[in-house]
Structure 1
Amino acid sequence: MTSHVLDLAGAGIGPFNLSLAAQLDSIPQLSVRFFERRPSFAWHPGMMLPGAEMQTSILKDLVTATNPTSRWSFLSYLVANKRFYQFLNAEYEAVPRKEFADYLGWVARGLTSLRFGDSVREVHANDGFFSITTDDGAISARNLSVGVGKIASRPAWAEQLPKSMTFHSSEAMQRIGDVKAPRIAVIGGGQSGAEIVDALLDLTRVSSIHWISRRPNFEPLDATPFTNELFTPGYMERFHGLPEELRLTHTRRQVLASDGVSASTLKKLYRRLYERKLETRGASDQGISLRPFRNVIAAEQDGPEITLTMRNGFDDSIETLTVDMIVFATGYRFVLPEFLYSLENRIELNSIGEPVLESDFSLRWDGPRESRIFVLNAGRHSHGIAEPQLSLAAWRSAVIANALLGRQHFDLDQLDPIVQWETHGQPSNLPSHMGQAAE
């Protein structure tokens, strides 16, 4: 064990711990180090499909929202790479995902606190600090930051299907080029599902594509001004103070604010389908079927085929579909990383099995309060739909930095929200006579 105790050790170097590292780079009095098993930075390499775009503003980068003069902003990246004027002239409605990934890699290459090819293996709590084993040895740290991301989520009915006949959208770049199956089902009506369908339309060897979603239609991301208020610090702070039951209800209702399809992607797909009909003079296009409002309830493999059984929510009927391959664009789920198993029984969980997070993004556990375990990308149901998104990454990192310092290094005061979310100066429960029908 080294004699030096770090102020913070970070496990995983994705965008969120990268944001934290970039913010802490402006605070030299803090001793920090971040560890990543991969040899270099990579951000969703499996989803870097041609034409894929960001769904957030470039100003919602790693640092700008709370530290606009940082050398690690997206604008600094453009200037450093001599692309500032050409980027402006391109007039992107949305930034290409590949360019934002290049920006993240540029930051990762510049920060000295990052250690690639060295992963966190074990964590044990001692008196006032954590003993951490990595691939390269042992260290001590007063606080942890867990940013290892989530794992690919697949429906329960798909567990017995062979991997040779299925893959998750996170593997798209590696798998799509090798697809030889003529009939493919894409499960999931969000942005990833739309991008997968768009990419499959370019493959001449695919004879039919079936896009299946539980949602009533293929619906756009709601990026209108009042909905974007959900992606502000003021809303997140108020959301965190709600009872758990209300928070869970709100996140279910707000799905299209964070997981809809970009309008530009929907328009592109619709035009492609329109042009296909034009080519066939309006005849039915057997090459693609769009099936919203379908809930897949079973999948049965029979040799090289898979038969899906679905309930159609539009007419409440049951239908079947036979395909040769399935692509799951079904998102991700949080799983406690193995290196925290030694603390598993000491961590408080909510009703759906996720860690309970404090307002500063540290999980609630039975250890000393000054020994914090910050968990990034696990707070959708504690802090709101913005927590897994890039939108508030810079602000969250500043909150954590202030918590480490025990003072307001970053000024996080905000104007009052434009929308009045909570009731001020009113009792939380209505009198018994309120709400009754008038006679």
Structure 2
Amino acid sequence: MSTGHDVLDVVGIGIGPANLSLAALLAAESSELNVAFLDRKPHFGWHSGLMLPDAQMQVHYLKDLVTPVDPTNPFSFTAFLVATKRFYRLLVTGRSKVPRREFEQYCRWAAERIPNLRFGVEVREVTWNGELFVVHTDQGVLHARNVVSGTGLVPRLPSFATGHDPQEVFHASTLLDVPRTFAGRRVAVVGGGQSGAEVVHHLLTSPDRPASIVWGTSRSNLLPLDDSPFVDELFVPNYSRYFHGLPAKRRMELVDEQKMASDGVSVSLLEAIYHRLYDLEMLEGEERPCRMLLGHSLTTVDKTPTGLLTRWMPGAGAEVGHEVDVVICATGYRHGLPRPLHGLPRHLREAMCGDDGEITVRPDFSLDWEGPQDRRMYVQNAARHSFGVADPNLSLLAWRSATIANSVLGYERYDVGEVGAVLDWTSSADSDVALTF
């Protein structure tokens, strides 16, 4: 890697689907821009710790890296299907949502072909020298006019889970990172969202199935993903643009109200778990292979001579205790200023909103800072309280990248304007949502 002072137009930090999408769009502008995307991994990988065999995507496969804004781009999912001789096979399946492993295969295929991607390079810090961003890596220093952080979200590990043997208490995102066996063991799964459900389904169908499972969630039930047609229009550009213009307090309220549009469990997965439990109990005669604690929050995990004592507190009533051998925390991810940007001016960290300390983001996904307007720091997957529940979702992946690309280029290379929709999002006098059909 060059350690000189050649100035790059864009340095992308992290190569997940978000920055891979941006790299795919900017590849068409290679004559105009000098860019580099960096990732510490040796090759492309996406949620490898949770790449469970039966995990399915929750979005249509055409919501890929590029298609919604650039359908003729050579790095589209359709191009991948044709290149891998599976186009007709997929159509015959009738699927609109593909296995998560297939989407990762697609991203890896694209990563092997998109120029200016550098794997095996760790970004340690980004600083500002008064004129340019200085990107410090383990292989030298790069100077850039713009940086785009796409490092992903940080797993949220609750306080009760810290200080324990990581083989016994760990975040679900690391489930497959190391060899593990659960045969004959007692397992607690914390969290009633999609990840928690995927972990439980995996445990129930695994050849080394645990002796018992305790599945606890603070939610009142195992709530399904709300992907009905009108709710799905929260995941079109029109709504994200409207949402960004609302007062901060209203945005925070809406994120909470619309949680099940992004954090519910796929109905097909809930059905698969229910069917599996029926088969185990009714057909195979097993007694309660999975005990569910609805409306319960795990408060403590204490080591005992024979395992781990987990204590669960209901919304009302007495505390419940279960001794287990393993605790898997499907407890979500922490939003906020991406780690590589922590070395930048202090006022960036103060521009926060939301309980997670989320950052204030401009309409072009750049941070609101006091530096030169032609020097920008963009963030991907870090603006839920600025753009709504769709921000960490793949649905607007290409639209967000196109918005960033237009901002970097200084002109509208990609159409990111209004799209056809049933719902019209307008602001009323009190900034509440008004819908016109």
Unpaired runs of 5+ in structure 1? 430-439
Residue in structure 2 matched with residue 63 of structure 1 by the alignment: 66
SS of aligned partner of 2:425: coil
Closer/same/farther in 2, CA of residues 332 and 156 from structure 1, 3 Å limit:
same
Residue 207, structure 1, aligned to residue 208, structure 2: no
Corresponding residue pairs, total? 425
Deviations 1:149-176 (A, max 9, x none): 1221111222233323112111122357
Correspondence 1:247-262 to 2 at 5 A: 247-262=251-266
Residue in structure 2 matched with residue 294 of structure 1 by the alignment: 296
Task: State how far apart, in whole Å, the 2-side matches of 1:301 and 1:420 are.
Answer: 55
Residue 384, structure 1, aligned to residue 388, structure 2: yes
Task: State how far apart, in whole Å, the 1-side matches of 2:414 and 2:53 are.
Answer: 38
8 Å CA contact 2:337–2:382 kept in 1: the answer is no
Task: State how far apart, in whole Å, the 2-side matches of 1:157 and 1:237 are.
Answer: 38
Closer/same/farther in 2, CA of residues 93 and 289 from structure 1, 3 Å limit:
farther
In the superposition, the TM-score normalised over structure 1's length comes to 0.92
8 Å CA contact 2:161–2:170 kept in 1: the answer is no
Deviations 1:91-113 (A, max 9, x none): 22530111100000001000111
Correspondence 1:342-357 to 2 at 5 A: 342-347=343-348, 348-351=350-353, 352=355, 353-357=357-361
| Greater alpha carbon shift after TM alignment, 95-104 vs 134-143 | 134-143
Query: Of 272, 276, 281, which residue of structure 2 is paired with 1:277?
Result: 281
Residue 86, structure 1, aligned to residue 89, structure 2: yes
Query: Of 117, 135, 139, which residue of structure 2 is paired with 1:136?
Result: 139
Aligned-residue offset at 1:127: 3.6
Task: State how far apart, in whole Å, the 2-side matches of 1:337 and 1:6 are.
Answer: 21
Aligned-residue offset at 1:136: 2.3
Correspondence 1:366-385 to 2 at 5 A: 366-385=370-389
Residue in structure 1 matched with residue 223 of structure 2 by the alignment: 219
| Greater alpha carbon shift after TM alignment, 106-115 vs 83-92 | 83-92
8 Å CA contact 1:9–1:145 kept in 2: the answer is yes
Residue in structure 1 matched with residue 331 of structure 2 by the alignment: 330
In the superposition, the TM-score normalised over structure 2's length comes to 0.92
Closer/same/farther in 2, CA of residues 230 and 176 from structure 1, 3 Å limit:
farther
Residue in structure 1 matched with residue 269 of structure 2 by the alignment: 265
Residue in structure 1 matched with residue 435 of structure 2 by the alignment: none
Query: Of 31, 35, 39, which residue of structure 1 is paired with 2:38?
Result: 35
SS of aligned partner of 1:245: helix
Aligned-residue offset at 1:320: 1.7
8 Å CA contact 1:295–1:310 kept in 2: the answer is yes
Task: State how far apart, in whole Å, the 2-side matches of 1:113 and 1:65 are.
Answer: 23
Identity within the alignment, %:
41
Kindly report the root-mean-square deviation, in angstroms, between the aligned alpha carbons of the 2 structures: 2.0
Deviations 1:91-147 (A, max 9, x none): 225301111000000010001110111122232213432122222222211000001
SS of aligned partner of 1:9: strand
SS of aligned partner of 2:175: helix
8 Å CA contact 2:183–2:211 kept in 1: the answer is no
Q: Which amino acid in 2 is paired with 1:366?
A: E
Q: Which amino acid in 1 is paired with 2:52?
A: L
Closer/same/farther in 2, CA of residues 428 and 146 from structure 1, 3 Å limit:
closer
Task: State how far apart, in whole Å, the 2-side matches of 1:246 and 1:99 are.
Answer: 38
Aligned-residue offset at 1:344: 4.5
Residue in structure 2 matched with residue 435 of structure 1 by the alignment: none
Aligned-residue offset at 1:321: 1.6
SS of aligned partner of 2:359: coil
8 Å CA contact 2:185–2:211 kept in 1: the answer is yes
Closer/same/farther in 2, CA of residues 251 and 181 from structure 1, 3 Å limit:
farther
SS of aligned partner of 1:25: helix
Task: State how far apart, in whole Å, the 2-side matches of 1:361 and 1:149 are.
Answer: 15
- Higher Cα Rg: structure 1 or 2? 1
Q: Which amino acid in 2 is paired with 1:23?
A: L
Task: State how far apart, in whole Å, the 1-side matches of 2:151 and 2:278 are.
Answer: 42
Deviations 1:244-265 (A, max 9, x none): 1111111111111101111111
